[in-house]
Structure 1
Amino acid sequence: MKFFSALFAMMVFLSCQKESANDRKNFLTQNTISKEEKPVLDFNKTKGKAIEALQFCKDNKLSTDFCILIDMSLHSGVKRFVIWNFKEQKITGQYLVGHGCGTNSWSSDESKNDPSFSNADGSHLSSLGKYKLSGRGYSDWGIHVKYLMHGMENSNSNALKRFIVFHSWNLMSDQEVFPNGSPEGWGCPTVSNNAMRIIDPIIQQSQKPVLMWIYK
């Protein structure tokens, strides 16, 4: 009996050791995957878009000093909104930006990984495409500043009709919140209040309307 008791105890011990080792392995694997999966802005992709944007700005009499590029292919918890300086060919500002919730709950982050887009009125979704920012005015949101967004493509031609504007929102964070996402509104690109305090003067100083390009 003593022999079998000792044997049983040894088997339990070895089993526990194996489970403990597996738990450590799984923990390390999960954390490694988590770190590897955090997306980052692709500078080369951004630069390629900026080259195309500059020609568009020249053709449409928009500012050739800078533009705003928003890469909606990125998770909404990372900084996917950039100010691109055409003359210096570099990013001079990078911020979080929210997108439309669609049929999801307002202010949730349910589509943080893969948002849908639409130009339809009432869709509560953001629209892809190039916009001309102009018409600074009062907003009920954030720091009470908004810019009208004039859609310049078929994909965003209803922006004004849908009251899609660029503004700040108290719920938006200054820092990246990944793996969580940014809160989703009714289609407007939204930034944090502090971000807008930086961006607003830059837009105001521009001698020409500014391009905002939302793409994925």
Structure 2
Amino acid sequence: MKNNIFILLLIGIFGVSFACRNNNEKTFKAVKAKPVYSYEEKLKSEITEIRRFLGKSPKYNSDVAFFLDMKIESGKNRFFIYDLKSNKITNKGLVAHGSGSETGIPGKLTFSNVKNSNCSSLGKYAIGGSYSGSFGKAYKLYGLEKTNSNAFDRNIVFHKYADVPFDEQPYPICNSLGCPMVNEKFFGVMEKLIDNSKKKIILVIYY
């Protein structure tokens, strides 16, 4: 009788041990299988969408577009100048996002279309005319979607700022009040494209 009880206890301990190991292996596999974010795939998807949009909206420039990937941390190049004719990135640089978009969690941002939120807003923008403001030359932005329809009234503009670095950084860069804000040198590259364009260029901010 005692032998039978001892054998049953051993079977029970072995079963629990095996179940725990099996669950651990499943957990490990689940973590290991977690997909890694690919900015190339996301950009490809956004380009497909913007081509569709431009096909229905001939009043905008269909040769070049700007893309801003908010999933990429601010210390890395995440503002892309894309040549839609040759189908390639021609330049890229750093860009600041709104201080109101910070959540305190690395890599996690929030967005808003509300005035005085100091948040960045997602969506398509038409880059309008330039003016001279607090940061020198800047370009008015017109939100084309529900997520950024208040951009003009919020004074969300595209401008340069001396404290935005030109080269990539191992840490986050400074924030704006909601405007896409870039390095002065990088701004000069886009300035030529915008000023020489007969039609408004589209800027897409996505996450």
Q: Which category of TM-score, normalised to the shorter sequence, fits these structures?
A: 0.7 to 0.9
Deviation at 1:193, TM superposition (A): 0.4
Give, as a single letter, the amino acid of the residue that structure 1 aligns with 2:190.
Answer: I
CA change 1:174–1:89 in 2 (3 A) is same
The 1-side partners of 2:148 and 2:142 are apart by 8
Amino acid at match of 1:205: N
How many residue pairs match? The answer is: 171
1:119-130 matches, cutoff 5 A = 119-130=113-124
SS of equivalent residue, structure 2 residue 147: helix
For the Cα contact (< 8 Å) 2:39–2:69, is it kept in 1? no
SS in 1 for 2:96: coil
Alpha carbons 1:101, 1:111 under 8 Å: kept? no
- State the one-letter code of the partner of 2:39: D
Q: Which of residues 170, 181, 188 is equivalent to 1:190?
A: 181
Aligned: 1:49 with 2:46: yes
Query: Which residue of structure 1 lines up, in the alignment, with residue 32 of structure 2?
Result: none
CA shift in 2, pair 1:119/1:193, >3 Å: same
- After superposition, what is the alpha-carbon deviation per residue over 1:23-44, rounded to whole angstroms, capped at 9, x for unaligned? xxxxxxxxxxxxxxxx996223
Report whether the alignment pairs 1:167 with 2:165. Answer: no
5+ residue gaps, structure 1:
1-38
- Structure 1 counterpart of 2:131: 137
Aligned residues: CA RMSD: 1.9
The Cα offsets for residues 6-35 of structure 1, whole Å up to 9 and x where unpaired, read as xxxxxxxxxxxxxxxxxxxxxxxxxxxxxx
Q: Cα offset for 1:118?
A: 0.2
Which of these residues, 59, 69, 72, is aligned with residue 70 of structure 2?
Answer: 72
Q: Give the share of equivalent positions with the same residue, in percent.
A: 32
Name the amino acid aligned to 1:168.
K
Q: TM-score, normalised by structure 2?
A: 0.78
For residues 1-216 of structure 1, what are the structure 2 equivalents within 5 Å?
A: 42-60=39-57, 61-102=59-100, 113-141=107-135, 144-178=136-170, 180-216=171-207
Retained in 2: the 8 A contact 1:174–1:194?
yes
Unaligned runs of at least 5 residues, structure 2: 1-35
Q: Using the alignment, how far apart are the partners of 2:193 and 2:133 within structure 1?
A: 18
**Offset at residue 147 of structure 1 (A):** 0.9
Cα distance, 1:103 vs structure 2: 7.9
Residues 101, 120 of structure 2: 8 Å contact kept: no
Any conservation in 1 of the 2:124–2:145 contact (CA below 8 Å)?
A: yes
Post-superposition offset of 1:145: 1.4
Residues 177-201 of structure 1: CA distance to partner in whole angstroms, max 9, x if unpaired? 12x1121111000000000111100
What per-residue deviation string (whole Å, max 9, x for no partner) do you get for residues 139-172 of structure 1? 221xx11111100000000001100000001110
Flag the 1:116–1:90 CA change in 2: closer, same or farther, 3 A: same
Distance 2:101 2:200 in 1: 33
**Cα deviation per residue 1:99-123 (whole Å; 9 max; x = unaligned)?**
000186xxxx966622211000010
Q: What is the TM-score when the length of structure 1 is the normalising length?
A: 0.74
Which structure has greater strand proportion? 2
